[in-house]
Structure 1
């Protein structure tokens, strides 16, 4: 509880913020009985602390007119997210609450949720979950506690006081040029729908959700463009077709890559000849949409059957597209627009994986420069070329 000293009618008053009973707060003037005339400020400050302590104790005794269990606030926060968040996101929050948060914390009075209670809860989860995963649970916990603050039941959010271990740095990976070429050959032999999926991810850098959501109306052969504006995501067995992308920047228009146009046209013509309605670009021969989890399973099978590294993910095709373009000298801003990243630092910190031969070439370039300007060594006769 906080409050300041104010003077009114030559007397010291304590002005504190207290709950107004409607989810907000109001100012309350409490007299100290001490005159503001003369040297009485130190006495008034002491009285202020006594008044605030007494007021805080009184507020603890006042029972709100509604349930104050933590479960009450979690359910209320989730209901709000059902309205404001995307369906897939809202369902994820509800899963976190149902499986982990409510069983452990739901029966607590919300005023009993201290930073230490949360610290112990999260420490237990961190034994079996990654830091980033547990921080997603904290979004629900912190949101529910913020609602309790709005009700005047809590003054501070104890989740803000939790100490977290350092985030595990995500090391994204990319296929080499040779492996990328091999994958395109494998995809051609595998046929549909994986050939289309791999082509879009490796050549255009599309995310898995964007690959599954791309429609023929998004491709304009006359203008030579591919518009990334539809996605297909999955939460369990629930398939979510969306007319929007992950972020605003993810909604982007790409120029068609000339080498892929003949294939894409033949894919469209093949679907038409089969009597299928032109909807999703990536589809089974019977026209059925390929689900994101189907892409993951089939991609792993392709890698295994062809003696390739099975620890690589389908999403690593997107990393590969970024690395190949960066190695070819594509400027950062162009690469950011191509990949649809909100933050350019993501483009380089996560997705760019310059090949080892490029780093060797850079070092040799510097060695050559030093040799020319300082005479420390003869320039090498043959440089490893940049790709």
Structure 2
């Protein structure tokens, strides 16, 4: 046992301990070597290793970290359901790569982390009863998605990074722990024929809904971006839209925030889209005039159906729900996620030969097109093949010798 100083959080005396079994000379020599090793660890430490548990570290990290509220709400779900119940009482100094990898493996096998033996997961109703008569079903292992485990890993890594900065631990074991591999993106955009069916169905429902679907399809805007679009950012004369803000919801409450990449972008509009937006603006002005309200630039382009003053936009969740119902009604059915329209915009541009940087700019991807290339690699390759054919057709013809 070697004294390692005062715990930086609790203020208590901290010790490094190691047990060597045996009473012969070999055991004594091993104990002496271990003592030297422990003393070296104490001298190497910038500060005494803390004995605080992971729950305390998580709370401190959440209190000090600059995290968007919507992101924070998502984190709390993983923290309360998985991380704290499993590792919350474990000291941060005792969490290693092996413990993390073991946790990830268990979650990938069964999200309940069962022991593999059959059991009744829960009873139907209150009190004691006959499981056979009540037809209680035995537990079935359901693996946690790799993307979810990766999210849990990201939270733990962020907490342990903070613990390193605060001098509670020497290094972050999550940096070397292996996490589940990220599944390669497999976008499934609608075909041009399906896109035409979607637009037709949307305009049959209402002109304003059809305009919204059309705008998402032609610009590739995210649902939160189209929800947060205001008329002051739509220049119909210059045929340009400025995407500066988004509208998000958290626990039923909506608010505006920066774009996903915290960057403003300008999107050029085609003449057909401009004509639709002019008609939509006229419609909004007429609807507001019915209740004695004048349309201003601060109002949202797509206002909530429940409001008559355009002070509340069409919420992103409502957009997704309405699109899902519309797509599901089509025969044959089409992908019911509105994000598929963003894929359509990207793939059509790439297939037409538009350069990668321009497509990335319209989509709002960061990294100079790295994200676009990763997601739409197949379409980039097809565009590259088309470019090669075009260049080859322009070269002077050579007869074989």
1:16-27 mapped onto 2 (5 Å cutoff): none
Q: 1:294 to 1:365 in 2, by over 3 A?
A: same
Aligned to 2:38: 53
How many Å apart are 1:104 and its aligned residue?
0.9
How many Å apart are 1:271 and its aligned residue?
1.3
Q: Deviations over 1:59-91 (max 9, x none)?
A: 99x987x8611111011111112xx12222222
Q: Deviations over 1:116-165 (max 9, x none)?
A: 22112212222433223222212221222233334444222222232233
Aligned to 1:280: 300
Q: Is the 8 A contact 1:118 1:159 kept in 2?
A: yes
Q: Is the 8 A contact 1:115 1:161 kept in 2?
A: yes
Root-mean-square deviation over aligned CA pairs: 3.6
Which residue of 89, 107, 112 corresponds with 2:94? 112
Q: 1:193 to 1:221 in 2, by over 3 A?
A: closer
How many Å apart are 1:362 and its aligned residue?
8.6
Moved more, 282-291 or 84-93: 282-291
Choose between structure 1 and 2: higher strand proportion. 1
Aligned to 1:385: none
Which residue of 53, 64, 79 corresponds with 1:69? 53
Aligned to 1:95: 77
SS in 2 for 1:98: helix
Q: Distance in 1 between matches of 2:8 and 2:75?
A: 27
Aligned to 2:266: 253
Answering whether residue 366 of structure 2 is matched by residue 346 of structure 1, we say: no
TM-score, length-scaled by structure 2: 0.71
How many Å apart are 1:321 and its aligned residue?
0.9
Answering whether residue 260 of structure 2 is matched by residue 240 of structure 1, we say: no
Q: Deviations over 1:26-60 (max 9, x none)?
A: xxxxxxxxxxxxxxxxxxxxx99864433547999
Aligned residues: 329
Q: Is the 8 A contact 1:88 1:240 kept in 2?
A: no
Q: Is the 8 A contact 2:6 2:48 kept in 1?
A: no
Q: Distance in 2 between matches of 1:74 and 1:272?
A: 50
| 5+ long unaligned stretches in structure 2 | 10-31, 110-142
TM-score, length-scaled by structure 1: 0.73
Q: Deviations over 1:288-338 (max 9, x none)?
A: 532222222211211122214343421111111112122222222222222
Q: Distance in 1 between matches of 2:84 and 2:224?
A: 30
